């Protein structure tokens, strides 16, 4: 969800105003994604590296996450959304950890849309913690089973807003065959039409997973025959 700071600066507002508006974009995206048939949505709210930002911005982002979750959890629940936080939650405040655990537990049986919010998450952190836990369990070669998303499908589509063409330590393991979509649109401006454009782009991709295009088209034909 890149581009919040620039969105604010363009309006001569403090950077944090962009984050605030970014929450509105997340709220809208959850609704539109659900209506569009998306069953799993992961948003990158705070990376392991974002602690390096100015202290006021870090504090603001943490409070924003806390407030947004507190205000939205009931609505997420009534809309059939399963909430999950992904990342090293132990570094967050005790209140936030309690809120996160409560929201996960309240929504655990919902199945319309799974919303993963990556907080204090990094793809490298995830691989390291999985390797450590797998080794401790005596299953070092099974480390992929210990990744944060082991029980969820690999993402089909990755969207990065704000014009940069980087993964920035997001789902490093899980993005192996994901379609990567980059847009200049700044995150607070990313709305319904932008998501539809991205989904239409995705629908035109031929996913080969290492096979040839011919094999994939043959298999698709056999499946409908
Ligand atoms: C990157 O834009 C954005 C972030 C580091 C924070 C994203 C967080 C939110 C939108 C709030 C999330 C809250 C919930 C409840 C999920 P940037 O600040 O790097 O933008 P810039 O590149 O224009 O400076």
What domains can be seen in the chain, in order of their start residue?
Answer: 4-224 (3.40.1180.10)
pLDDT at 201: 98
Task: List C-alpha distances in Å: 35 to 29, 32, 112, 162.
Answer: 10, 5, 10, 24
pLDDT at 91: 96
pLDDT at 119: 98
Active site residue 50: yes
pLDDT at 120: 98
- CB distance 5 to 61 below 8 Å: no
pLDDT at 188: 98
Residues lining ligand 1, judged by CB closer than 6 Å? Answer: 1-6, 19, 22-23, 26, 43, 45, 50, 61, 64-65, 68, 117, 162
Q: Is 184 buried (19+), middle (13-18) or exposed (0-12) by CB count in 10 A?
A: exposed
In tens, the pLDDT along 100-111 reads 999 999 999 999
Low-confidence ranges of the chain (pLDDT < 50): none
pTM above 0.85, yes or no: yes
Of 68, 57, 51, residue with least CA distance to 122: 51
CA of 166 from ligand 1 middle (Å) equals 15
CA of 212 from ligand 1 middle (Å) equals 38
Pocket test for ligand 1, best of 9, 22, 56 (most atoms within 8 A of CB): 22
- Within the chain, residue ranges assigned H as helices are 4-10, 15-35, 55-78, 94-107, 123-136, 192-203, 213-224
pLDDT at 43: 98
- Nearest-angstrom CA–CA distance, 167 and 172: 8
pLDDT at 24: 98
Active site residue 2: yes
């Amino acid at each position: 969800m890149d581009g919040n700071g620039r969105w604010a600066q363009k309006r001569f507002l403090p950077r944090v105003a962009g984050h605030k508006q970014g929450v509105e974009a997340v709220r809208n995206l959850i609704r539109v994604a659900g209506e569009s048939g998306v069953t799993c949505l992961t948003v990158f709210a705070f990376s392991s590296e974002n602690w390096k930002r100015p202290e006021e911005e870090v504090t603001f982002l943490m409070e924003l996450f806390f407030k947004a979750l507190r205000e939205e959890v009931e609505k997420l629940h009534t809309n059939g959304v399963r909430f999950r936080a992904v990342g090293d939650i132990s570094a967050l405040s005790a209140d936030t950890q309690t809120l996160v655990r409560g929201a996960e537990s309240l929504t655990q049986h919902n199945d319309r849309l799974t919303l993963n919010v990556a907080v204090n998450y990094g793809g490298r952190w995830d691989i390291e913690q999985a390797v450590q836990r797998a080794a401790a369990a005596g299953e070092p070669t099974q480390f992929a089973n210990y990744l944060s998303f082991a029980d969820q499908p690999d993402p089909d589509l990755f969207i990065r807003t704000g014009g940069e063409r980087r993964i920035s330590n997001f789902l490093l393991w899980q993005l192996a065959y994901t379609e990567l979509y980059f847009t200049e649109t700044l995150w607070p401006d990313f709305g319904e039409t932008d998501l539809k454009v991205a989904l239409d782009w995705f629908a035109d991709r031929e996913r080969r997973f290492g096979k040839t295009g011919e094999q994939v088209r043959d298999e698709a034909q056999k499946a409908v025959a």
